[in-house]
A and B are shown apart, each in its own frame.
Chain A
Amino acid sequence: MLRRRLNRLCGGDEERVDSRTIYVGHRPCPDTEAFIPSKFCDNRIVSSKYTVWNFLPKNLFEQFRRIANFYFLIIFLVQVIVDTPTSPVTSGLPLFFVITVTAIKQGYEDWLRHKADKEVNKYPVTVLEDGRSVKKESEKIKVGDVVEVVEDETFPCDLILLQSSREDGTCFVTTASLDGESNHKTHYTVPDIEKDLQTLTSAIECEQPQPDLYKFVGRMHIYKLEQEPVVRSLGPENLLLKGATLKNTKKIYGVSVYTGMETKMALNYQGKSQKRSAVEKSINAFLLVYLSILISKAVVCTTLKYVWQSKEGQDEPWYNQKTQKEKDTNMYLKMFTDFLSFMVLFNFIIPVSMYVTVEMQKFLGSFFITWDKDFFDPEIQEGALVNTSDLNEELGQVEYVFTDKTGTLTQNNMEFIECCIDGFQYRYRDTQSEVDGFTVTDGPVNKLQQKAGWEKEELFLRALCLCHTVQVKEAGSEVLVDQVDGIDGLLGFIASSPDEIALVKGAMKYGFTFLGLESKSMKIKNRQNDIEEYKLLHVLNFDPVRRRMSVIVQTKSGETLLFCKGADSSIFPRVRPEEVDRIRMHVERNATEGYRTLCVAYKQLSAEEYAMADTGLREARLALQDREEKLMAMYNQVEMGMSLIGATAVEDRLQEEAAETMEALQGAGMKVWVLTGDKMETAKSTCYACRLFQRGTELLELTVRTLEDEKLNRDQKLHELLQEYHNKAVKDAPPVKAGVTRSWSTANQDYGFIIDGATLSLLMNPPHDADASQYKSLFLQICQNCTAVLCCRMAPLQKAQIVKMVKNSQGSPITLSIGDGANDVSMILEAHVGIGIKGKEGRQAVRNSDYAIPKLKHLKKLLLAHGHLYYVRIAHLVQYFFYKNLCFILPQFLYQFFCGYSQQPLYDAAYLTMYNICFTSMPILAYSLLEQHISIEILLHNAALYREIANNAMLRWRPFLYWTVLGIFQGLMFFFGVRFLFSNPALQDNGQVFGNWSYGTIVFTVLVFTVTLKLALDTRHWTWINHFVIWGSLAFYVFFSFFWGGIIWPFLKQQRLYFVFANVLSSVSAWLVIIILILLSLLPEILLVVLRKPRGHHSQQLSEDSSTDTNRWLRSLLSPTRI
């Protein structure tokens, strides 16, 4: 919101304009009639929210926007304004505490941001001004300034690269701080720029700032003396982003185009949308219940008060006259203030401290994830990362797991396994001797098979060496090229995808080594150790829609060649059909073995063809509008009529313990869906390898292939198949409740469902709109009855679409997405819980995730142990808080019936204030951090335990009702137990009597002990901390009571509790009543604990006990109370 406002501020009147014009070095250009310096915002980064002046009002405003805080503020104000039973301090102090702590925390965070901003804004930069280099503070850079950046410096704003110290007009950049990718990226200068930047006159036209890091469209008009102005297109490859770092390049000059808050970095700086957990929603629901209890209590009391008062002599007996002011007050106003007073008296039922405790629990609790050494991966030297602590408990509620395949289920550690050239298989074996290897002197490995022609082999290997975007990592200043062996030890490759490296390395094994790209010429060393040079003319980039990439190169001899590699489905239609058949067999076999296959094709371009392609591509690149579409069309046009030379197979190994993890997740009742961009066969084999599909699993396939039917069109066939599968999986399946039982019921037929992207989009947007919802529900129902679902050929957005569909389906199940790459970001953001894997495909997934773990195998512990425990802890925390405040306030409510509905508090103000803050807060906090009702080992070992807490089991209405009934029961006990005792208030052995404060103190003592001991009964895991806080709280209560009653407090008007506690304790009767009331209140609880089985055996026994067993009957009767 802030950013948008800033945008409006900075953008000013430009908003209507689609593009902005920047004059390099603020020099006016010839063909612009008047040089109007446009107003852009300065280069100051403001990430801080507050200033010293507006901190207080703004922070308070933001804090009181939270509904709970606002409620407490209202209560406080009522207490201040209206004559209420409790002093404003009782609710003001906790609120003040909460607000102050939050304000300090936010203030500190903002101070850090201020500091960081200052560091960035005051960073010295060099700006070229009138031929001189001027040192400036970064924040003073204006749009149009020419900025100098030296190696290892970060760019102070978004720059268009004008000049680089490297000869080829490139520079290298890492964007680690932007998207986490640490590889070097090459950026290019704009061609045709004069060497002397002082004389450069040019104007840049580019789009208005937008946050996409990888998109930039612009045009540069370069004016040269007595020449037609030259127009050059600008793309993301010319744009240096603020925040990126210059590498491997001594220095560059660039003109700033976006500054300050308009840089892409600043536009991307935005907190993710808040995800709310199911627990929070439950809390809010319970809150409403308690609010209505509160209001109805107040209404009942107000009504009864006026009924009572209507009786003669009750309202104002002679001994208790009203003040003149009270007498004068309007009756209805008095009723209203009475109502408010009752509200205030009972407001402790919704405690401020619950929010504090929940927040603290979440914040502190999340440390256990970061601290867990089981999540530490020695390879990357990192442990788990918690980006949000709001969702800890959601980890224990997951019903659907959406996982990416590559890099998540598999290692993304590619290894070249084999290739197929012209239909002949070549397999390289590491371990075997040179003779068997694919070497210069020897033939192909497989001697039984014929080998392809020599030329075909070389062509294929050249294609592998040329058709990629791999860079060679420069080892220091010298490039050691002439090393014969151990090249890959010295030469590191950098690429956006590990497949490419695997292919380049694969080619190297067969004798073709890629040496690097220098000023548009690619060098490769062939088998004869000769160096071949190719001029790189065009790169037709890879994208997931086309699923292929191409390069156009020119050989020394002047031939122009196009090499293309890509997925079989995207290559096969573009090559001659007769070539396909020979290779298809290999590709399919490789795919079923779980390898990733790519097909390689080439095409020779004639001079005319190339000229056409060249102009077409250039034109498309220059386009300001619809550049993407135009490029795409051009690519498709160029990549036609190729001839297939071969295919490669790259193995992507499964992650460690991938299968075990998947099995555990399924055992825990989660449904695992694999969403991948990979092809069906590969994905299917991965699923088999992960044991998501098993031998007995019947696969229901809904793909383009199964939709092909001679008689029916695709839409009809889709309908037919959906119906058929639905019958099979849903209707004929034994009537088990969906989602409750599954994988342990081995008797049932397991189904696996496979769908591909194309079919999915058909399903989501069928030709007839009317079918959409029907298809969707059929699809969902089928999926819900399947063990595992595989969605292959998915575009990133489709992944998110699926997650969204499941998320919004009936019962709104909790979804979890796990992935490692940029293509998973959308589904990570979409799911309730997003997990990033610190894999090899950059850090985007990690940045956007809620939790990040180094390996897939860690998911098991994260969900089964941490998630389960967090859920149980927080659920117990929430229920306990409501319970303890119910039995805290109920006696106070009941007391109104005995004090003429006069809002007389039962407890002293100190007790009212301290109850939630001091006496009962620490034990539950310790419990909610340390409790392990089942030990972690058992949780990990027995995945089925996860089902016990499925569907928010501990925060549903039944357990809530149980806790509420318990609270009411105990509240009644406390009050009436003491009430009967006080039928004769002479309770001391010297005949002296107790008053109302003794009454309240006895009730309060029973209350504090009972709720604390109730928690002690619930604690299954007594560490020394639990002992300390539980017994410590009780001791503190006793100590405090003595202390509070031990002194005549100098600044207090009332000394109500003076020696009350000590006197109470001097009475044997008081002791006896305290003991028996505590015991009686806890008796039902103890009884329930006894009647149910100890937890460890519980799950095993459930299935073993016969239904006639009384014990089981008892337990099932008590089952909601297991909480």
Chain B
Amino acid sequence: IMASSYGAKEEDGHHPGSAGLGGAAIRTKKPDNTAFKQQRLPAWQPILTAGTVLPAFFIIGLIFIPIGIGLYVTSNNIKEFELDYTGTDMSSPCFNCSQSWNSTNTCKCELFFSLDQPFESNVFMYYGLSNFYQNHRRYVKSRDDSQLNGDERSLKEPSKECEPYRTNENKPIAPCGAIANSMFNDTLDLFYIDPNGKKRPISLTKKGIAWWTDKHVKFRNPGGSNSNLTTVFKDTAKPVNWHKPVYELDVDIENNGFINEDFIVWMRTAALPTFRKLYRIIQKNNDMTPTLPRGNYSLAVTYNYPVRSFEGRKRMILSTISWMGGKNPFLGIAYITVGSICFFLGVVLLFIHHKYGNRNNSSDIAS
């Protein structure tokens, strides 16, 4: 791509000291004649010229545009369905739940929706929050990773960073900190309403929603092999906003305590105030039928999580996934744009080069 001249300069190979006998006796201040000291190291001197970069522009254009189109098509093929269940509207079934938040009573509401297209393959169910600053500094640092890693000492004596969610009634909070305390605790259940009006629950898998390394290395229950989490967490308090202590998050011992995947997912703080987090996976059916066929569905929400106070929104998102992740047209558009720009620039440069370059070249030779 680059016109390069390999400007290796000959080194005459004369080294002081190799002179032989007299070398040691005469201490001359003559500088060493080495390529480095004489700034004559062999060097590659690339020269970027229009002629050499032009093909690069075309090649970039030719590669990027197809990639971009591929990305765009892939993204468009991803099916995504979003449902806002915040319940700010009077008409919304969840309006009542959103208005009164009472930690003791659980409030349930049910929303109906229909999918126009069938969702094939595995379907991923996300919950999305808006205007929720999980990336606020006070929030981000309010956790104790060694406690979450099963460190007994940190369990008893959580990090100061957890304040003001460090202790409750003189007992250390486990898991401590604002992040854990504000864990998303709405329960979302999905039902398929078959044509004859019968509600059929859709099985939601909660395994595999957290990073493997988080689940298996970064997060660990204290007490080592002690499987009785109740005794392990005996002297700790539950986070103030939680309904149940951490060892009752799940009945499955592999998904309980700190290694509960819902908890781990929540603990990975989002980058932006509007975010989504993986909630459940709907495994594809073994038969050829789509995972979520066209039709009517209902979403049953156990409405626990208040967002009205900070004007947040809650969404449920159903999405299929491709090799590039979820639906995002940005990459495709970006690639197509950059590819086109390169191609266009290539054409313009070629034009300039063709029209004016020849004359310059001839004058180069002449000079």
**In the bound complex, how far is the Cα of B208 from the Cα of A992, in angstroms?**
8
Query: Given A989-B322, A1055-B218, is A323 in contact with B164 using a C-beta cutoff of 8 Å?
Result: yes
Partner of B30, one of A376, A981, A992, A1105: A376
Partner of A323, one of B143, B163, B357: B163
Q: B102 in the interface, Cβ–Cβ < 8 Å?
A: no
Asked if residues A1091 and B124 are in contact (CB atoms below 8 Å), the reply is no
Q: A47 in the interface, Cβ–Cβ < 8 Å?
A: no
Interface segment among B188-196, B284-292, B328-336: the answer is B328-336
Residue of B nearest to A1080 (CB): B338
Partner of B367, one of A370, A1080, A1101: A1101
Within 8 A of A (CB), among B220-273: 241, 265, 268-273
**B contact residues around A329 at 8 Å (CB):** none
Q: B113 in the interface, Cβ–Cβ < 8 Å?
A: no
Q: A454 in the interface, Cβ–Cβ < 8 Å?
A: no
Asked if residues B270 and A904 are in contact (CB atoms below 8 Å), the reply is no
Give min CB distance, A940 to chain B, whole Å: 13
Q: B159 in the interface, Cβ–Cβ < 8 Å?
A: yes
Asked if residues A1020 and B45 are in contact (CB atoms below 8 Å), the reply is yes
**In the bound complex, how far is the Cα of B325 from the Cα of A989, in angstroms?**
5
Q: A1094 in the interface, Cβ–Cβ < 8 Å?
A: yes
Query: Given A324-B164, A376-B30, A1089-B48, is A319 in contact with B145 using a C-beta cutoff of 8 Å?
Result: no
Within 8 A of B (CB), among A317-350: 317-324
Asked if residues B136 and A320 are in contact (CB atoms below 8 Å), the reply is yes
**In the bound complex, how far is the Cα of B43 from the Cα of A826, in angstroms?**
43
Asked if residues A1048 and B218 are in contact (CB atoms below 8 Å), the reply is yes
Residue of A nearest to B163 (CB): A323
Asked if residues A1073 and B182 are in contact (CB atoms below 8 Å), the reply is no
Interface segment among A187-195, A248-256, A603-611, A995-1003: the answer is A995-1003
**In the bound complex, how far is the Cα of B126 from the Cα of A1044, in angstroms?**
30
Interface segment among A279-287, A752-760, A1061-1069: the answer is A1061-1069
Asked if residues B213 and A1111 are in contact (CB atoms below 8 Å), the reply is no
Number of B residues near A (Cβ < 8 Å) is: 105
Query: Given A320-B133, A1076-B335, is A993 in contact with B310 using a C-beta cutoff of 8 Å?
Result: no
Asked if residues B311 and A992 are in contact (CB atoms below 8 Å), the reply is no
**In the bound complex, how far is the Cα of B133 from the Cα of A995, in angstroms?**
12
Asked if residues B328 and A899 are in contact (CB atoms below 8 Å), the reply is no
Asked if residues B49 and A902 are in contact (CB atoms below 8 Å), the reply is no
**In the bound complex, how far is the Cα of B312 from the Cα of A318, in angstroms?**
12
Asked if residues B273 and A992 are in contact (CB atoms below 8 Å), the reply is no
Residue of B nearest to A1026 (CB): B43
- B 133-161 to A, binary, CB cutoff 8 A, 1 in contact else 0: 11111111111111001000000000101
Q: Which of B133, B163, B182, B341 has the most CB of A within 10 A?
A: B133
Q: B95 in the interface, Cβ–Cβ < 8 Å?
A: no
Interface segment among B86-94, B274-282, B295-303: the answer is B274-282
**In the bound complex, how far is the Cα of B7 from the Cα of A935, in angstroms?**
10
Residue of A nearest to B133 (CB): A900
Give min CB distance, B271 to chain A, whole Å: 4
Query: Given A320-B178, A372-B38, A1110-B352, is A993 in contact with B277 using a C-beta cutoff of 8 Å?
Result: yes
Q: Which of A375, A904, A984 has the most CB of B within 10 A?
A: A984
Residue of B nearest to A371 (CB): B37
**In the bound complex, how far is the Cα of B310 from the Cα of A430, in angstroms?**
106
Q: A363 in the interface, Cβ–Cβ < 8 Å?
A: no
Q: B28 in the interface, Cβ–Cβ < 8 Å?
A: yes
Asked if residues B137 and A903 are in contact (CB atoms below 8 Å), the reply is yes
Within 8 A of B (CB), among A960-1017: 977, 979-999, 1017
Query: Given A320-B136, A381-B28, A1053-B159, is A1087 in contact with B345 using a C-beta cutoff of 8 Å?
Result: yes
Q: B174 in the interface, Cβ–Cβ < 8 Å?
A: no
Q: B204 in the interface, Cβ–Cβ < 8 Å?
A: no
Q: A227 in the interface, Cβ–Cβ < 8 Å?
A: no
Residue of A nearest to B179 (CB): A319
Q: Which of A368, A1069, A1087, A1091 has the most CB of B within 10 A?
A: A1069
Give min CB distance, B355 to chain A, whole Å: 8
Give min CB distance, B129 to chain A, whole Å: 10
Q: B117 in the interface, Cβ–Cβ < 8 Å?
A: no
Partner of B278, one of A375, A991, A1063, A1080: A991
Asked if residues B41 and A1023 are in contact (CB atoms below 8 Å), the reply is yes
Asked if residues A381 and B39 are in contact (CB atoms below 8 Å), the reply is no
Query: Given A904-B137, A1067-B325, is A992 in contact with B38 using a C-beta cutoff of 8 Å?
Result: no
Partner of A995, one of B54, B208, B271, B309: B271
Asked if residues B32 and A986 are in contact (CB atoms below 8 Å), the reply is no
**In the bound complex, how far is the Cα of B163 from the Cα of A290, in angstroms?**
36
**In the bound complex, how far is the Cα of B278 from the Cα of A995, in angstroms?**
12
Give min CB distance, B59 to chain A, whole Å: 12
**A contact residues around B104 at 8 Å (CB):** none
**B contact residues around A322 at 8 Å (CB):** 138, 164
Asked if residues A1048 and B149 are in contact (CB atoms below 8 Å), the reply is yes
Query: Given A1022-B44, A1023-B41, is A981 in contact with B60 using a C-beta cutoff of 8 Å?
Result: no
Query: Given A992-B209, A993-B275, A998-B271, is A981 in contact with B328 using a C-beta cutoff of 8 Å?
Result: yes
Partner of B60, one of A992, A1020, A1058, A1079: A1079
Asked if residues A986 and B149 are in contact (CB atoms below 8 Å), the reply is no
Asked if residues A995 and B270 are in contact (CB atoms below 8 Å), the reply is yes
Residue of A nearest to B311 (CB): A313
- A 1024-1047 to B, binary, CB cutoff 8 A, 1 in contact else 0: 111000000000000000000000
**In the bound complex, how far is the Cα of B176 from the Cα of A245, in angstroms?**
79
Query: Given A992-B209, A1058-B217, is A1100 in contact with B367 using a C-beta cutoff of 8 Å?
Result: yes
Partner of B325, one of A370, A988, A1022: A988
Residue of A nearest to B41 (CB): A1023
Q: B201 in the interface, Cβ–Cβ < 8 Å?
A: no
**A contact residues around B341 at 8 Å (CB):** 1083
Query: Given A900-B273, A983-B330, A1069-B331, is A1055 in contact with B149 using a C-beta cutoff of 8 Å?
Result: yes
Q: B210 in the interface, Cβ–Cβ < 8 Å?
A: yes
Query: Given A900-B133, A1090-B53, is A986 in contact with B33 using a C-beta cutoff of 8 Å?
Result: no
**In the bound complex, how far is the Cα of B46 from the Cα of A1101, in angstroms?**
20
Q: A748 in the interface, Cβ–Cβ < 8 Å?
A: no
Residue of A nearest to B217 (CB): A1048
Partner of B141, one of A370, A1025, A1054, A1110: A1054
Asked if residues A383 and B364 are in contact (CB atoms below 8 Å), the reply is no
Q: B319 in the interface, Cβ–Cβ < 8 Å?
A: yes
Query: Given A313-B310, A381-B29, A1053-B159, is A1059 in contact with B45 using a C-beta cutoff of 8 Å?
Result: no
Q: A1104 in the interface, Cβ–Cβ < 8 Å?
A: yes
Give min CB distance, A861 to chain B, whole Å: 11
**B contact residues around A1105 at 8 Å (CB):** 360, 363
Q: A930 in the interface, Cβ–Cβ < 8 Å?
A: yes
Give min CB distance, B265 to chain A, whole Å: 8
**A contact residues around B310 at 8 Å (CB):** 313-314, 317-318
Partner of A1072, one of B60, B159, B306, B335: B335
Q: B118 in the interface, Cβ–Cβ < 8 Å?
A: no
Q: A932 in the interface, Cβ–Cβ < 8 Å?
A: yes
Q: A898 in the interface, Cβ–Cβ < 8 Å?
A: yes
Within 8 A of A (CB), among B340-367: 341-342, 345, 349, 352, 355-357, 359-360, 363-364, 367
Q: Could you write out 7 A-B pairs with CB less than 8 Å apart?
A: A85-B137, A372-B38, A983-B328, A991-B326, A1024-B41, A1101-B363, A1105-B360
Residues of A within 8 A of B (CB): 85, 313-314, 317-324, 367-368, 370-373, 375-376, 381-383, 898-900, 902-905, 930, 932, 935-936, 977, 979-999, 1017, 1020-1026, 1048, 1052-1056, 1058-1059, 1062-1063, 1067-1069, 1072-1073, 1076, 1079-1080, 1083, 1086-1087, 1089-1091, 1093-1094, 1097, 1100-1101, 1104-1105, 1109-1111, 1114
The 4 closest A-B pairs by CB, nearest first: A319-B182, A986-B326, A999-B271, A991-B124
Residues of B within 8 A of A (CB): 7, 28-33, 37-39, 41-50, 53-54, 60, 64, 67, 71, 122, 124, 126, 132-146, 149, 159, 161, 163-165, 178, 181-182, 208-211, 213-214, 217-218, 241, 265, 268-273, 275-278, 281, 306, 309-311, 319, 321-328, 330-331, 334-335, 338, 341-342, 345, 349, 352, 355-357, 359-360, 363-364, 367
